[in-house]
Amino acid sequence: MNEILNLGLENKVVIITGAGKGIGYETAKVFKQYNCKLSLISKTLDDLVQLKKELDLNDEMIYIQEGDASDEEVVKDFVNKTMEKFGRIDILINNAGMRFRKKFIDIEYNEWKNVINVNLGSTFLFCKEVGKHMVEQKSGRIINMASIIGTLGLPELVGYGASKGGIISLTKSLALEWAEFNINVNVIAPGFCETSYTENFKQKTELYNFTLERTPLKKWGNSKDISNACIYLSSDLSNYVTGEILNVDGGWSAW
């Protein structure tokens, strides 16, 4: 009989930001399979309600809240309510984010500030508020969602790339600062993945074909590929891994 690998995830309390769609949605479903307790936030309550229904968890195992992950007061309230409900936070998945495509000289400063605030700002806020509790309990896992564009660059995604590069730097610094508290901090850098956010991109046939041709595996990834990486970095399999960038990109960054 095959033995089931114990990943040390059962009953762990997991916060996932941007849980209403795409990678966050899929990641919640995967953590549910490991009997984790879930605390989920998204800007759209209807998406969270649908996810909760699909997960079919009782109220003791899940908490959902509508809110902007880049709003400091919202983040403080959400983290406090998560602690009140579950008593601890073991894993933080910083997945909230946005992007826009525009030539650099056409970018308005408000657009620049918005993408930095949503992507890097939300990661800062959640790391700070959740980190306080992880430092006190002397344990925790933080997985920040960046992108291959955070290190490699791509035209017309300057703001997005800058925000993701900032997330990578933040991750490495926190991994050093919090190592003494047994907190592992890592970053996942997805390549091109099929999600609800990339449907418009795929319709640009020439650009889509270019990404397929340049990717060594000759295919896009999907949300499950990223959520599986989250499981690895949250589990006992990665106890000695911190401050790392895990590229999940079909080999794109190997060039």
Q: Taking the C-alpha atoms of 142, 146, 148 and 149 in order, what is their torsion angle to the nearest 10 degrees?
A: -160
Residue type, 41: I
CB 249 within 8 A of CB 211: no
Q: What is the DSSP string of 85-110?
A: HHS---EEEE---------GGG--HH
Three-point CA angle 63, 36, 75, nearest 5°: 40
CB atoms within 10 A of CB 151: 15
Is 160 a known active-site residue? Answer: yes
Residue type, 7: L
Q: What is the DSSP string of 120-132?
A: IIHHHHHHHHHHH
Q: Which of 34, 63, 160, 232 is catalytic?
A: 160
The residues annotated with a catalytic role in the active site are 160
